[in-house]
Structure 1
Amino acid sequence: MPTLAKALVRRVAGTLQFPCRQCGSVLKYAPGTELLVCEHCGTENRIELRSGLIEEYDLKQALSQVVERRTKASTPSIHCNGCGAGFQFEAKNHAGECPFCGTPIVTGTDDIKPIQPKSLLPFQIDEATARQRFQRWINGLWFAPNAIKKYARSDSKLTGVYLPFWTFDSQTLSRYSGERGDVYYVQQEVQVMRNNRLVTETRQVPKIRWTPVNGQVSRFFDDVLVGASRSLPRTILDALQPWDLEALLPYDENYLSGFRSEYYQVELAEGFDLARQIMDNQIYRDICNDIGGDHQRIHQVNTHHSGSTFKHCLLPVWSAGFRYRDKSYRFVINGRTGKVQGERPYSFWKISFAVLATLLMIAAAYVYLDKSGALRNIQVQNFDIQPYHHQ
């Protein structure tokens, strides 16, 4: 049975280590549970759930109070209580394992970053499930080199990482000027072939009437998510959505034991700039709907943000990478849903064979239609309905 008391956390020189209450060995968080599990004796140590609401913080106040500091040139020195070794994490990480004995260690972020994570989503799927999702995804890639499929069948380890994210809330009011386009039809004479004769017909031709417009739209944006890591391309980070942010828990180092965790590398001000770009895309759609008509032109937009707030949270991913033809490719799996995103190479030969096969099919179809006489019938029909516009 799991130990009901909170798992013991040992604090050494500013770091957190997680020994088992039963034997003192290594504890690691078990995805999808509220347990830290001992790798040595199998004892389950229950994580005591922290109470409290997930707070939003005033953005304007934070930007005025926080002096954005550059990451220190040297990261804090870490002492492992398991083997006594001294070492340093990668500059971007604040949680991981001792490189000498594998003891999970979490460091504080206070001395490195002025804003601390206040919430997180724990891992929901374990490494075995993540690997199954990864293999299913990579085996379904079209035109992938055979080396990729071989990699999917290998036993290469996936790495569990908590990535930093910002979320932003903001009330917006946008005033705009533009034009509304309404379609109308006019009659126009055109010349066409009918029964091998050139005749004149009257047709309805669409035109657009543009009318100047001015107006305003408002929208409240809730939890606009922006990745604060530079370890992965933003397209991959964005494609991992959706995240069940309603399930965020108060920040607890116990969930980080056995996993890596990164500091934010995208500062708060830059994160809000990226969030505003996401908001602007939705505001543009709102303005088009407000203008109405069949077509819209937007000349100018002035958006005012008020009551803007933010959260800094950690979200879980399983990551993998490999090299192919001297280039690195990265894959990540959403640690909650199992959704896979990543970079992939293409096989030149597979694409070439596919193009060649398509061309051969088109050529075979052409020969068949030509011999059957169907091609001549199609050409005659197209000639009969081909319009000639009056100059």
Structure 2
Amino acid sequence: MSAVFKTNSPKPVTLQFPCKQCGAVLKYAPGTAHLVCDHCGTENLIELRTGKIEEYDLNQALQQLTKASVESSAPSIHCDECGAGFQFEAKNHAGECPFCGAPIVTSTAQIKPIQPKSLLPFSVDETRARQGFQKWIKNLWFAPNAVKKYARSDTKLTGVYLPFWTFDSHTVTNYSGERGDVYYVQEAVQVVRNNRVVTEMRQVPKIRWTLVNGQVRRFFDDVLVGASHSLPRKILDALQPWDLHGLIPYDENYLSGFRSEYYQVELTEGFDHARQIMDNQIYQDICHDIGGDHQRIHQVNTHHSDTTYKHCLLPVWSAAFRYRDKSYRFVVNGRTGKVQGERPYSIWKIAFACLVGVFLAAIGYYYLEQSGALQNRQPEELTIHPYQYQQPLNY
């Protein structure tokens, strides 16, 4: 499907969701299909939006993006609850009014040419997310003891919808390389027996290399790439897996009471990262196709076709704690409760563990030497050749 961009809207569309009972502003309740009023407790059902989650043609989108012109500054926002005017942080399009705390959602068309078309609603609430964090921090290896106190604290978590890209692509890859098959020959080797050097005949492994050429094909479905700079990519990637089959059409109701970010990783940069993920899988496919005991890959040429993308929002709970004047961030997957984050290490605990390891290794070596087991080891081991891997990519 072709991409449809909406740009240069005259003013931002600001959305707030009043309670049908008392008129107070509503917030989405994680794990449900309704908004809850904090004042009277009324549950306001979210009308289910139906429709297929569309895929958009990547090449056409990239061409249109070169012509797109959008406003780059954050728009001014008016709060209908208290009448205040303000601006969100540049990367956000949903959050709370800084004056009265009312949840506000704005459209994204004023800032970005590509709009989110789908999302995964929160299914993990803040209480469960905090419990997951407490368990995670208690189980950290080599963490300073002082850090454990955060497992008992009431650290406030912030619910955030982070932007992501997904990519589909048909790939055809031609390659050349070598297949390595192990065979054995009998050779005379010298070993020490009872403090004497003796000669023995042993089976010694060798590798026979054969030139190969071939082709592999693979269809990639929903290769996920984080489009936020708020968190390191390592943390974003570690939050997987996501139940992307559960994506629903984009609906601002699910954003009420949460922060939501614009994408900061542009579409072309996102696809560059997706190609790296695809290349790693293609590399494994080539090794499997070559077969044998070992593989060398010399040349790779991959062609991408029918490449499509989606822009979606995925939910996380985010917070940070400070230790020795440094901030450590952690996040909780808002669908599964999986926790990932940054953490400090105790140098003393690591040093002690290393000393214990060296001590145990020395004891083990002593007993192996006394038993004569070290004298029976293979004098020659198989040499593993490094891969030669070059990868020009075309799409």
Same fold (TM over 0.5): yes
Q: Is the 8 A contact 2:70 2:113 kept in 1?
A: no
Matches within 5 A, 1:138-217: 138-217=137-216
Matches within 5 A, 1:93-112: 93-112=92-111
Q: Is the 8 A contact 1:30 1:37 kept in 2?
A: yes
Instruction: Name the counterpart of 1:87.
Output: 86
SS of match in other structure, 1:211:
strand
Matches within 5 A, 1:31-50: 31-50=30-49
Q: Is the 8 A contact 2:12 2:110 kept in 1?
A: no
Letter in 2 for 1:47: I
Instruction: Name the counterpart of 2:392.
Output: none
Instruction: Name the counterpart of 2:298.
Output: 299
Q: Percent identity?
A: 76
Residues 37 and 185 of structure 1: CA distance in aligned 2, closer, same or farther (over 3 Å): same
Letter in 1 for 2:191: V
Give the drift of 1:251: 0.1
Instruction: Name the counterpart of 2:60.
Output: 61
Give the drift of 1:352: 3.2
1:254 counterpart = 2:268? no
Give the drift of 1:358: 5.0
1:381 counterpart = 2:375? no
1:74 counterpart = 2:73? yes
1:24-77 Cα offsets, whole Å, 9 max, x none, are: 112000000001000000011000000101011111111111237698553100
Give the drift of 1:200: 1.7
Letter in 1 for 2:237: D
Q: Which runs of 5+ in 1 are unaligned?
A: 1-11
SS of match in other structure, 1:173:
strand
Distance 1:150 1:32 in 2: 29
Distance 1:109 1:213 in 2: 51
Distance 1:328 1:89 in 2: 23
Residues 384 and 106 of structure 1: CA distance in aligned 2, closer, same or farther (over 3 Å): closer
Q: Is the 8 A contact 1:195 1:384 kept in 2?
A: no
SS of match in other structure, 2:208:
strand
1:74-101 Cα offsets, whole Å, 9 max, x none, are: 3100010111111100000000000110
Q: Which runs of 5+ in 2 are unaligned?
A: 1-10, 381-395
Q: Is the 8 A contact 2:318 2:329 kept in 1?
A: yes
Distance 2:276 2:223 in 1: 10
Residues 384 and 225 of structure 1: CA distance in aligned 2, closer, same or farther (over 3 Å): closer
Give the drift of 1:190: 1.1
Give the drift of 1:348: 2.1
Matches within 5 A, 1:320-339: 320-339=319-338
Residues 213 and 26 of structure 1: CA distance in aligned 2, closer, same or farther (over 3 Å): same
Distance 1:317 1:271 in 2: 20
Using the TM superposition, name which of 18-27 and 141-150 deviates more.
141-150
Instruction: Name the counterpart of 1:219.
Output: 218
Q: So what's the TM-score if we normalise by structure 1? A: 0.89
Structure of higher CA gyration radius: 1
Residues 213 and 386 of structure 1: CA distance in aligned 2, closer, same or farther (over 3 Å): closer
Instruction: Name the counterpart of 1:229.
Output: 228
Matches within 5 A, 1:306-317: 306-317=305-316
Instruction: Name the counterpart of 2:125.
Output: 126
Give the drift of 1:143: 1.6
Distance 2:347 2:374 in 1: 40
Q: Is the 8 A contact 2:137 2:148 kept in 1?
A: yes
Residues 156 and 258 of structure 1: CA distance in aligned 2, closer, same or farther (over 3 Å): same
1:340 counterpart = 2:339? yes
Residues 152 and 387 of structure 1: CA distance in aligned 2, closer, same or farther (over 3 Å): closer
Distance 2:379 2:136 in 1: 51
Residues 182 and 96 of structure 1: CA distance in aligned 2, closer, same or farther (over 3 Å): same
SS of match in other structure, 2:337:
coil
Using the TM superposition, name which of 133-142 and 187-196 deviates more.
187-196
Letter in 2 for 1:48: E
Distance 2:239 2:378 in 1: 50
Residues 312 and 205 of structure 1: CA distance in aligned 2, closer, same or farther (over 3 Å): same
Residues 210 and 169 of structure 1: CA distance in aligned 2, closer, same or farther (over 3 Å): same
Distance 1:133 1:383 in 2: 47
CA RMSD, aligned part only?
2.2
Give the drift of 1:350: 2.7
Instruction: Name the counterpart of 2:3.
Output: none
Give the drift of 1:326: 2.1
